[in-house]
Chain A
């Protein structure tokens, strides 16, 4: 396949997989790449809401897998970026509606259509949907919160990426693993209430590709169906932009790891 497949996964739920998938896909499209982002959470469709295209879903991923619609019919073109497309999860079928052959056919189809990147938004857990989302991946973005259960689950996922994927089974080059730390609160880290970036890197033995600070802008962005990376004034949005640049090979220092002191104008006018 010529398209690069990126899975966004975590094991634990609620850590920011869909937020991350939406922002990474949008960020890659901003960089001029042709990108499809696929919701693998069959039965619990949500990526469409975060991308702001929920009212334009006609056909979904499962329809394409079962030959009930073509890829062209099911891909929803983003209203902001020409080269960005969303493939929604089915809301009515069960999780067995996806098969390995079916997923491969869709990914191959996207590759043939000239897509540069396919971002696979994995469901939580380690069951079938999560397995299929990671199986064909070239890159994995493991989303982790600085919190004990999320860190442990992500280590489990790192183990699965290294053993239960096509690249592992075929003995090809391993999936490139990237750790993305989200909901990071520098103030709590400073007083010893939260694991630091270094703590998480030490425990998992892998460096982060980005750190997204905890931010009220993330909720505001999902409320309005605009991926937070498009909120250029927010730290979270800027941190996602940095992450996309790093995924594309650019070197950028980590930002927003220190407690931000608000300046006079910020205190008076907010922001």
Chain B
């Protein structure tokens, strides 16, 4: 990239930033909507346990409650970092 390109580069329009932030927070809030109140706490405690073995970020843990006819499914997914080593402090992916 030439110096001219660098000078001409504009910051991202704030509306683009707003849209991206809203997209994420709305998706997250929808996934826990109507779910029991203890879910955020459960998520944090699970994070603590998982952290003992693998270093993951809180955003890598997804908790979902799905309602089917008559029963509920608590779904938990943890995105592990690519080169997961026990107890390492490597930054977690995604």
Q: Of all chain A residues, which has the CB nearest B25?
A: A152
In the assembled complex, how far is the CB of residue A152 from the closest CB belonging to chain B, in whole angstroms?
6
Whether A189 contacts B15 in the complex (CB less than 8 A), given A152-B25, A204-B26, comes out as: yes
Flag the segment in B28-36, B39-47, B48-56, B85-93 that touches A: B28-36
Flag the segment in B1-9, B16-24, B69-77 that touches A: B16-24
Bound CA–CA A152/B33 (angstroms): 13
Flag the segment in A34-42, A69-77, A192-200 that touches B: A192-200
Cβ-Cβ contact count across A and B, 8 Å cutoff: 44
Bound CA–CA A196/B30 (angstroms): 22
A268 contacts B by Cβ under 8 Å: no
Would you call B13 and A191 a contact (CB within 8 A)? yes
Partner of A195, one of B19, B30, B33, B34: B19
In the assembled complex, how far is the CB of residue A158 from the closest CB belonging to chain B, in whole angstroms?
9
Would you call B22 and A192 a contact (CB within 8 A)? no
Partner of A199, one of B19, B29, B33: B19
In the assembled complex, how far is the CB of residue A262 from the closest CB belonging to chain B, in whole angstroms?
24
B83 contacts A by Cβ under 8 Å: no
- Chain B, interface SS category: helix
A151 contacts B by Cβ under 8 Å: yes
Would you call A193 and B13 a contact (CB within 8 A)? yes
Whether A192 contacts B25 in the complex (CB less than 8 A), given A159-B30, A159-B33, comes out as: no
Which A199-222 residues have a C-beta within 8 angstroms of B?
Answer: 199, 202-204
Interface size range on A against B: 10 to 19
In the assembled complex, how far is the CB of residue B21 from the closest CB belonging to chain A, in whole angstroms?
7
Whether A195 contacts B18 in the complex (CB less than 8 A), given A159-B33, A159-B34, A163-B34, comes out as: yes
A1 contacts B by Cβ under 8 Å: no
Would you call A156 and B15 a contact (CB within 8 A)? no
Bound CA–CA A159/B29 (angstroms): 10
Bound CA–CA A85/B19 (angstroms): 40
A187 contacts B by Cβ under 8 Å: no
Bound CA–CA A152/B23 (angstroms): 9
Interface residues of B (CB under 8 A from A): 13-16, 18-19, 21-23, 25-26, 29-30, 33-34
Apart from A147-B18, A151-B22, A195-B19, 16 more pairs, CB < 8 Å: A148-B22, A151-B26, A155-B29, A156-B29, A159-B30, A159-B34, A191-B13, A192-B13, A195-B15, A195-B18, A195-B22, A202-B19, A202-B23, A203-B22, A203-B26, A204-B26
